[in-house]
Chain A
């Protein structure tokens, strides 16, 4: 029974819990047992909560008292370590925040707790979310459950691996340039970056504030929609939070699961993101998924986004610039590490010694790059130009969305690469984000869902959907439909083909 519970989707667990066929304590214990069994190999978690069983028992008691409960009450969830949690350390994968316990919960965490979800722990990530492999974590890499010698993607490799290894049915991630979607792609899971402003960033340790967005990491499209419904919506504590009244994303996903066809839907293939330079098996699975959409009555159109070739360059100016400013708060005064240089020194000497000791190589690289891009004499050439490129990319999207209702591409150019393969080559690592970055620059929502295994290496391939800003529901409707068609073609979920651990 215990093993079975970890294989269930969040929607299935919700049904079992509501029908009182299982208790929240049993569900939590099954996942804690699973974590104890597989996490020594996978290393998805930086911290496992000692409060999960008590939180689950509370849900059981309230349900027993007949209290009206949220649909997901009692379902466990893993939380990326970038999100502040009152009862667990929050390090963002950095030595400089080792052991720090925040005085508040991030809004998405607070909303999950209020709905009765049960936090299992905090998941590993590239330090301050800077990376595409989770190798830049100060606490060691996470391993891909499909092949332990390979990266689980990044920066949210811990959340994706936890979900792929059946350690948690749901997880939270954050996506600044693909940190939810690319890990989803390489682990055979589902990840959604909502419209910018759709989910509160309050309590999410900021990387690049004009790009960051918190979102769901799950095994099915419906589960992502259910979690998005819990965490989304206006938050007065985040001044960039949209005040829109959002539709139910779970209803949109269910509509997609029940739909007979996609007749009338225009699907735009972004020519610049369907590159002959991508891994052959990635392109093959992407085009096979397009054939399923065609067979379902969708019209496939090719669209062009000529400025996407400047997206990675613009991103690696804007991100370091914003990060160098955001990370200035790690000054050895208010929280985290303090290192005093030999013989003492002024507060600035202490600050410099602390940041030298507390930041890893990638963080130093990007902070110094950002400082350069923002410095007098270079500001216009780099930061100013990058912001103009951002306008051009938004225009490319606007024009593409005149011809298509939804845009599609492979979620990442390759399947999971080997641990160590790119860690010493920052530029090669950065190019891994070529498919995901445009959505962040434009603020639009994007989803990655599994598209099959690449024939040459047997590793998962991701299919990316992108919708206009505020049209997240479209991702869930089309994504759930495509997921159903793909699973029919495979005879079950893709993760059923993953190595048993």
Chain B
């Protein structure tokens, strides 16, 4: 059985930056437990002699000539931002008080 507890879900949600409600934590604990138990079968056939595939059709060293091309303008880049000022994205404080 999986080790998915409400504490694990709360920790994962904090890593994923999602402020779950208590009700969501309860519901997700059960659902994730069932899903994790179900997908755990991948380890049954993953013996050490089998290489991993990260990409279905691998391409190596994809590069372009190092010459400047068209890019978004500053106004275009900021056009979808919830808040922008002086050509920059506006965010809240990045450090908490204790930091």
A-side interface residues toward B, CB under 8 Å?
100-104, 195-197, 210-211, 236, 239-240, 242, 307, 310, 313-314, 316-317, 324, 328, 331-338, 340-341, 344-353, 355-356, 359, 361, 364-365, 367-369, 371-372, 375, 381-382, 384-392, 394, 426-427, 430, 440-444, 469
- B82 and A336 contact, CB distance less than 8 A: yes
- The answer for the CA separation of A368 and B24 in the assembled complex, in Å, is 12
16 A-B interface contacts by CB (under 8 A): A103-B76, A196-B56, A210-B56, A236-B64, A331-B17, A340-B92, A353-B19, A365-B31, A375-B15, A382-B43, A387-B52, A388-B52, A389-B45, A390-B52, A391-B53, A469-B57
- The answer for the CA separation of A176 and B89 in the assembled complex, in Å, is 32
- A103 and B92 contact, CB distance less than 8 A: no
> In the complex, which of the residues B42, B51, B79 contacts A385, with contact meaning CB atoms closer than 8 Å?
B42
Q: Which residues of the other chain, B, contact A195 by a CB distance below 8 angstroms?
A: 57
- A371 and B12 contact, CB distance less than 8 A: yes
- A385 and B46 contact, CB distance less than 8 A: yes
- The answer for the CA separation of A306 and B19 in the assembled complex, in Å, is 42
- A368 and B16 contact, CB distance less than 8 A: yes
> In the complex, which of the residues A242, A317, A341, A355 contacts B17, with contact meaning CB atoms closer than 8 Å?
A355
- A389 and B46 contact, CB distance less than 8 A: yes
- A352 and B52 contact, CB distance less than 8 A: no
> In the complex, which of the residues B19, B20, B44 contacts A341, with contact meaning CB atoms closer than 8 Å?
B19
> In the complex, which of the residues A197, A242, A352, A372 contacts B32, with contact meaning CB atoms closer than 8 Å?
A372
- A388 and B51 contact, CB distance less than 8 A: yes
A-side binding surface: helix, strand, loop or mixed? helix
> In the complex, which of the residues A340, A341, A387, A427 contacts B53, with contact meaning CB atoms closer than 8 Å?
A387
Minimal Cβ-Cβ distance residue in A for B96: A346
Interface size on B, residues (CB 8 A): 56
Q: Which residues of the other chain, B, contact A353 by a CB distance below 8 angstroms?
A: 19
> In the complex, which of the residues B18, B62, B72, B91 contacts A355, with contact meaning CB atoms closer than 8 Å?
B18
B-side interface residues toward A, CB under 8 Å?
4, 8-9, 12-21, 24, 28, 31-32, 34-36, 38-47, 50-57, 59, 62, 64, 72, 76-77, 79-83, 89, 91-96
- The answer for the CA separation of A381 and B18 in the assembled complex, in Å, is 25
Greatest chain B CB density within 10 A among A345, A365, A389 is at A389
Asked if A338 meets B82 with Cβ closer than 8 Å, knowing A239-B62, A352-B19, A392-B45, the reply is yes
Q: Which residues of the other chain, A, contact B47 by a CB distance below 8 angstroms?
A: 388
- B18 and A337 contact, CB distance less than 8 A: no
Q: Which residues of the other chain, A, contact B54 by a CB distance below 8 angstroms?
A: 210, 387
Q: Which residues of the other chain, B, contact A359 by a CB distance below 8 angstroms?
A: 18
Minimal Cβ-Cβ distance residue in B for A390: B53
- The answer for the CA separation of A180 and B29 in the assembled complex, in Å, is 31
Asked if A391 meets B93 with Cβ closer than 8 Å, knowing A371-B15, A375-B15, the reply is no
- B55 and A313 contact, CB distance less than 8 A: no
- A392 and B50 contact, CB distance less than 8 A: yes
- The answer for the CA separation of A391 and B56 in the assembled complex, in Å, is 9
- A368 and B45 contact, CB distance less than 8 A: no
- B80 and A102 contact, CB distance less than 8 A: yes
Task: Report the minimal beta-carbon distance from B54 to chain A, rounded to whole angstroms.
Answer: 6
- The answer for the CA separation of A132 and B44 in the assembled complex, in Å, is 27
- A369 and B52 contact, CB distance less than 8 A: no
Q: Which residues of the other chain, B, contact A391 by a CB distance below 8 angstroms?
A: 50-53
- The answer for the CA separation of A332 and B94 in the assembled complex, in Å, is 13
Asked if A103 meets B72 with Cβ closer than 8 Å, knowing A346-B96, A352-B17, the reply is yes
Excluding A347-B94, A442-B56, 16 further A-B contacts by CB distance (< 8 Å) are A101-B80, A240-B55, A335-B82, A349-B19, A352-B18, A352-B19, A356-B18, A364-B28, A368-B13, A369-B32, A385-B42, A386-B42, A389-B45, A392-B45, A426-B31, A427-B35
Minimal Cβ-Cβ distance residue in A for B63: A239
> In the complex, which of the residues A365, A384, A442 contacts B28, with contact meaning CB atoms closer than 8 Å?
A365
> In the complex, which of the residues B17, B19, B80 contacts A336, with contact meaning CB atoms closer than 8 Å?
B80
Minimal Cβ-Cβ distance residue in B for A356: B19
Q: Which residues of the other chain, B, contact A103 by a CB distance below 8 angstroms?
A: 72, 76-77, 79-80
- The answer for the CA separation of A482 and B45 in the assembled complex, in Å, is 37
Q: Which residues of the other chain, A, contact B56 by a CB distance below 8 angstroms?
A: 196, 210-211, 390, 394, 440-444, 469
Q: Which residues of the other chain, B, contact A310 by a CB distance below 8 angstroms?
A: 41-42, 44-45
